[in-house]
Amino acid sequence: MPLVKAKCTNCGANLEVDNSRDAAICPYCNTPYVVEKAINNYNGITHIHADVVNIAGEEVVDFVIRAGELIKYNGAATDVVIPNSVVVIRENAFSNCCALKSVVIPDTVTTIRSMAFFGCVELKEIRFPDSVTNIEFDAFRSCRGLKEVSFSNSIKIIDGFRECEGIEKLDIPQGACSIGGFESCTNLKIVNLPQTVTEIRKEAFLGCSNLESVNGECHIDEIGESAFRECSNLVTFQPPIRKNIGYRTFSDCEKLTGIELSEGLEKIGMFAFSGCKCLKKVILPDSVKNIYNFAFSSCLALERIRIPSKVARVGSSAFQNCANLIEAVIEHGVREISDYAFAECKALKNLYLPDGCIKIGSSAFEGCNSLENVNVPESVTYIGPYAFKNCTSLTTVAIPDSVEYKALGSIFEGTPFWDNKSKGHCYIATAVYGSYDCPEVWTLRRYRDNTLATTSMGRAFIRLYYAISPKLVKWFGKTMWFRSFWKKFLDRKVSELNSKGVENTRYYD
């Protein structure tokens, strides 16, 4: 039996049916239909389901609407007026309608679903009636020609305009509380926020490379991950932030000069301001509890920072490569300076660590070549390897007995302080063997760092040795009897250590 043309009485899809059958199931909406009614529906006899409205041309249904939801637009018009029976515009309803230039949304529509207008590259302007309260994720994504967007005051959450490259200015309406979905709007320059906005969502303006200013007197509670990341021309961010700043929120905002952080702010996320090369002034409120890894790394213009007392731990590399940081005030309450926290802060001159600090991590101040004085409090029990490496101006360090170091030489490697301590004074082994770098001394240094320094008795011996031996060498180090006496003892000790597996190869402490 030949197939004849029909139209589904539920969704309006064009079908080919066997007219010898009584009923069938629509392959588009999975709804059963009476074959005779479907054929009549195609031929213009309108016995269709009451909640379906089809506005049709000769053979093409322009709108597929079911129960107040616009399922699909099938037309090719450049200017479209959506019927006022529509309440919801569904996912992909106008997706890739490349000829669409304007659309009128009636005041019956409340919700525009994700990807509803995706890829409408010729769409120039959109105005939302007051009835619209929800614009979902990526609703207008890649509408690259879109220049004018007029929001209604009833919209609470704004999202869905990624890659709309034509938008240059955003005026967010009073009443909106959460903003997102403008990633890669590369021509956007100005964003004006109302007092009602409290949240800027994850990746909201990521990659808006021409964004220059964000204005408004609202107080932002939450700024999500990468919200303004790579906004390389952002100079001004006016709204104060009062709770949390997420991962990479302002990362690589190279022209950002200042930011206001309000009392109540608790968390500054990883890489939050990393690479903000022009950020000169940051005042951390007393409420801050967490400064995560790399939070302010490579903020090249930053000159001063105060770490509040509620911050228990300064994250790894938190201020690394802040090359113009002159002063870091670390308040009582901070217990740990993590690895590389202030490494390569070349302008940092004076460091005063608070009582209560117990740990200075590996390379924490490495390369701070303007650092002249360090006062380590009695509370510190650990200083990591290379903590002050290559601090080439460091001449004075007060180290308490509480520090359980394993390799004092590695901690201060490349500093005048250690050079004077280890080489400027000829300690006994160096005086006996004539060099600080020879197999015998390498063996003894390994024994000091890997064995003696691991026990309380051993550390006590090291401190006694450093207290007495410089004076002995100063008085007797050039005499034959002194070197001969100690050489016999040291030769036996070195031989014994070598036989027990302590290597005599080059050693860097």
Q: Tell me 50's DSSP state.
A: T
Instruction: Inform me whether the pLDDT recorded for 45 exceeds 50.
Output: no
166 lies in a domain?
no
Residues 415 and 439 in one domain: no
C-alpha gyration radius of the chain: 36
β-bridge partners, 70: 65, 89
Q: Please check whether residues 386 and 326 belong to one and the same domain.
A: yes
Of 10-24, 220-234, 267-281, 300-314, the poorest mean pLDDT is in: 10-24
Say yes or no: 468 and 357 in one domain.
Answer: no
Phi, psi (rounded to 5 degrees) for 262: -90, 155
Residues 33 and 54: their CA atoms lie apart, in Å, by: 16
Please indicate whether residue 294 or residue 457 has the higher confidence score (pLDDT): 294
| Domain stops at, among 393, 423, 453 | 423
> Tokens for 431?
């005086």
Residue 42 has pLDDT above 90, yes or no: no
Task: Kindly state the tokens that stand for 67.
Answer: 């129960």
Specify the pLDDT at position 49: 37
d(CA 338, CA 274): 17
Confidence of residue 91 (pLDDT cuts 50, 70, 90): very high
> CB burial class (10 A; 0-12, 13-18, 19+) of residue 59?
exposed
**In this structure, how many other beta carbons lie within 10 angstroms of the beta carbon of residue 358?**
14
Q: Confirm if 446 and 500 have CB atoms less than 8 A apart.
A: no
Judged by DSSP in three states, 58 sits in coil
Instruction: Specify whether 415 is located in the same domain as 309.
Output: yes
- pLDDT single digits (tens) 50-84: 333 343 333 336 899 998 999 999 988 999 999 99
Give SS3 for 245.
Answer: strand
Same domain assignment for residues 323 and 414: yes
Mean pLDDT confidence for 259-271: 94
Q: Check residue 11 and give its pLDDT.
A: 65
Same domain, yes or no: 467 and 369: no
Looking at residue 52, what is its pLDDT?
A: 38
- How far apart are the C-alpha atoms of 473 and 492, rounded to whole Å? 20
Confirm whether 312 is domain-assigned. yes
Quick one: which H or E segment has residue 70?
strand 69-73
Enclosing domain of residue 439: 428-499
How many alpha carbons fall within 13 Å on the CB side of residue 112? Answer: 30
Pairing verdict, β 327-330 and 304-307: parallel
7 against 165, higher pLDDT = 165
CATH number of the domain where residue 416 is located: 3.80.10.10
Co-location of 412 and 474 in the same domain: no
Residue 357 maps to a domain: yes
Together in a domain, 394 and 446: no
Q: What total of structural domains would you count in the chain?
A: 3
Q: SS3 for 178?
A: strand
Are 391 and 411 found together in one domain? yes
**pLDDT surpasses 60 at 118:** yes
In a domain, 281, yes or no: no
456-476 helix and 480-499 helix, angle to the nearest 10 degrees: 150
19 within domain boundaries:
yes
Which residues on neighbouring strands pair with residue 479, listed in sequence order? none
* Residues recorded for the chain: 509
- Residue 52 forms part of a structural domain: no
β-partners of residue 150 are: 127
Q: Does residue 405 fall inside a structural domain?
A: yes
The reported pLDDT for the residue numbered 459 is: 85
Whether the pLDDT of residue 353 is over 50: the answer is: yes
Q: Which of 373, 391, 423 is the last residue of a domain?
A: 423
Token pair recorded at residue 461: 């011996």
Q: Where does the pLDDT of residue 204 fall: very low under 50, low under 70, confident under 90, or very high at 90 and above?
A: very high
Residues 308 and 410 both lie in one domain: yes
Same domain for 389 and 484? no
- Flag the least confident range among 118-122, 317-321, 347-351: 347-351
Q: Do 368 and 307 reside in the same domain of the chain?
A: yes
Q: How far apart are CA 272 and CA 251, in angstroms?
A: 6
The yes-or-no verdict on residue 421 having pLDDT over 90 is no
For the four alpha carbons of 473, 426, 366 and 381, in that order, the dihedral sign comes to negative
The fraction of the chain above a pLDDT of 90, given in percent, is: 58
Other Cβ atoms closer than 10 A to 475 = 10
Least confident of 5-9, 45-49, 373-377, 483-487: 45-49
Q: Is residue 286 part of a domain?
A: no
Query: How deeply is 478 buried, as exposed, middle or buried, from its count of CB atoms within 10 A (0-12, 13-18, 19+)?
Result: exposed
pLDDT at 469 over 90: no
pLDDT band at 423 (very low <50, low <70, confident <90, very high): very low
Q: For residues 427 and 278, what is the distance between their CA atoms, to the nearest angstrom? A: 48
Q: Cβ neighbours of residue 159 under 8 Å, at least 6 residues apart? A: 135, 136, 137, 138, 139, 178, 179, 180, 181, 201
